[in-house]
Copies of this chain bind each other. A is one copy, B any other.
């Protein structure tokens, strides 16, 4: 089995044109939020955000297979004491573009940014918007089932043992590839709320989101050898996860440092023995 990783350096609006129609099974991405990450990315004014994003989502629509899924991680920032409405406007605009807004998953960030203000609490959740081209998309629900009932203790014990074997799953997340080991337990389907901590203390790169996030959606919406795309690759979390899960992947990044870093760390082709 051959698993490939394809990288593009440049503005994703342009680079996406190099990808053929209906060729991607899953898009998981976290674009720069409006006016956030100004130092690394340009920073888009909230009022211009929809206008900026629509051409990109148009290209994403083109490259996605009819059975594929687009997962968009986003959160509106506070502006003058109010939540901005550009995410709301984006959802409405993307529907006019042809997208179906199938679902909104909720990412509960267990360790949110600290701070105290007189008028609000810490923001501890982000949106994970699921868009589709067609009502009949692929979804492999069994792949993300979690043990029921008193599974927490069991997992905690097993975790300490399997931790060394590069099992990155964390307690409480219900993720992890070894879950099938405890399949004797009753399994249940998860909900649309994901409880994950942000990985703030990673070695070199500050990952936008924890590995479990793309891992969960890759499990849920793809099978092996499918194609996963991240048009805002960043440090490449989504791609490396996809790679280790034997999915082909495509990444686009506008900042050379990130691009080169990912290029260094990921092999363009991985060969696996048939199992």
Contact = CB atoms under 8 A, between A and B. Distances in A.
Interface stretch (A35-43, A102-110, A227-235): A102-110
A141 B125 contact: no
Contacts of A89: 88, 92
Interface in A86-120: 88-89, 91-92, 95, 100-104, 106, 108, 112, 116, 118-120
- Looking at chain A, what size class is its interface with the partner chain? 35 or more
A120 B92 CA distance: 20
Contacts of A118: 139, 141
Contacts of A182: none
Contact of A102 (B119, B122, B192): B119
Given A125-B192, A191-B112, A119 B135 contact: yes
Given A192-B121, A192-B123, A102 B83 contact: yes
A123 B81 contact: no
A101 B83 contact: yes
A178 interface: no
Given A81-B135, A82-B101, A189 B116 contact: yes
B121 A106 contact: no
A116 B116 CA distance: 40
Contacts of A104: 83
Contacts of A137: 119
Contacts of A120: 102-103, 192
Contact of A101 (B85, B112, B189, B190): B85
A141 B118 CA distance: 8
A88 B92 contact: yes
A124 interface: yes
Contacts of A83: 101-104
16 contacts: A81-B100, A81-B135, A85-B92, A88-B88, A88-B91, A89-B92, A103-B120, A108-B108, A108-B193, A112-B191, A121-B141, A121-B189, A121-B190, A122-B189, A123-B191, A125-B193
Given A85-B101, A121-B189, 4 more contacts: A88-B91, A106-B108, A108-B193, A122-B192
